[in-house]
Amino acid sequence: MNIAFIGLGNMGAPMAANLARAGHAVTGFDTHARPDGLTMADSAAAAVADADVVITMLPNGAILRSVAADIHAAMRTGAVHLDCSTVDVEAARAVAEAAHAAGLTAIDAPVSGGIGGATNGTLTFMAGGPVAAFETCRPLFEVMGQKVVHCGDAGNGQAAKICNNMILGVTMIATCEAFNLADRLGLDRQAMFDVVSTSSGSSWSMNAYCPAPGVGPTSPADNGYKPGFAADLMLKDLTLAQQAAKAADADTPLGEAARALYDQFVNREDGAGRDFSAMLPRFSERSRRG
């Protein structure tokens, strides 16, 4: 296919590179980055002019809305706007409506898997939008990732992403709290892992991404908590989840508690730029009184 890729940062650049290596004609545009190995356009509108599918990977919903307003008029009728950003559900649905009005179709397909998944082509995509457009994009998903789930109508990809990451944020906090309690009770961390990872307390946060260094599979905890998934990004996703919960009148007290704690960790403590599992040393340094 002819692909345009708008947004070539830490995630977008390796995703675009994988598409190019698979034989797709990829034209990129980014206001700052100019990665090697890609044909670059001088503007977003120029990049999308001949594209069958336009992929965007952008920081937030406001930027997505702005870029969509710029590129939809330049895209050819019938092309697909595939947005892989993580944004608010309202922005995803507004962009889908704008695409439809311009004679296009849109898919919102945020990703899970981080920079490693983008580089290795092992991302998981959660997609919302028309089935026909989803099937058009399926060969691209298969290059960039290892799993894709069609979640329903426009915006449902974003809904799935924020619900998943709300669970992840809550369970990581609980896992870190439990390790800290185990430490203070004199329970060896390896024994803690061996019990919990095979018992009713098991979770992805424990089994696959253990926040305790030297315990379980290799994780960012074994690399000084350099981010695989930054605490800043977890805060972003938990904030989006609470924004959606407010709009839907959904009671999510644990989701809000997790958001507030990551906000404190990132903005008032030392969590900025660290992995989201660095909650464990954060708890280890504190008592019940703070």
Domain boundary among 132, 152, 172: 152
Specify whether 48 is located in the same domain as 114. yes
Per-residue pLDDT band for 162 (boundaries 50, 70, 90) equals very high
Per-residue pLDDT band for 250 (boundaries 50, 70, 90) equals very high
* Residue 169 belongs to some domain of the structure: yes
Per-residue pLDDT band for 117 (boundaries 50, 70, 90) equals very high
Question: Residue 37: pLDDT above 90?
Answer: no
Specify whether 175 is located in the same domain as 73. no
Specify whether 164 is located in the same domain as 145. no
CB atoms within 10 A of CB 289: 4
Predicted local distance difference test score (pLDDT) of residue 116: 87
User: What confidence tens digit (pLDDT) does each residue in 169-205 have?
Assistant: 999 999 999 999 999 999 999 999 999 999 999 999 9
Contact yes or no for 217/197 (Cβ under 8 A): no
Specify whether 22 is located in the same domain as 128. yes
Specify whether 37 is located in the same domain as 141. yes
Domain boundary among 152, 172, 206: 152
User: Is 176 strand, coil or helix?
Assistant: helix
Contact yes or no for 37/82 (Cβ under 8 A): no
Specify whether 121 is located in the same domain as 170. no
CATH classification at residue 6: 3.40.50.720
Predicted local distance difference test score (pLDDT) of residue 287: 84
Owning domain of residue 46:
2-152
Number of domains in the chain: 2
Predicted local distance difference test score (pLDDT) of residue 290: 67
Specify whether 182 is located in the same domain as 73. no
Tokens 């992995």: give the residue.
275
Specify whether 6 is located in the same domain as 43. yes
Specify whether 118 is located in the same domain as 259. no
User: Is 282 strand, coil or helix?
Assistant: helix
Q: Which residues are catalytic?
A: 161
Specify whether 108 is located in the same domain as 192. no
DSSP string, 24-53: -EEEEE-SS---TTSEE-SSHHHHHTT-SE
Specify whether 7 is located in the same domain as 104. yes
* Residue 290 belongs to some domain of the structure: no
d(Cα 163, Cα 86) in Å, to the nearest integer?
12
Specify whether 84 is located in the same domain as 175. no
CATH classification at residue 228: 1.10.1040.10
d(Cα 31, Cα 41) in Å, to the nearest integer?
10
Distance from the Cα of residue 16 to its chain's centroid? 16
pTM metric for this prediction: 0.91
Rounded to a whole number, what is the largest CA-CA distance in the chain?
A: 65
Domain boundary among 110, 127, 152: 152
Mean pLDDT of the chain: 96
Contact yes or no for 207/129 (Cβ under 8 A): no
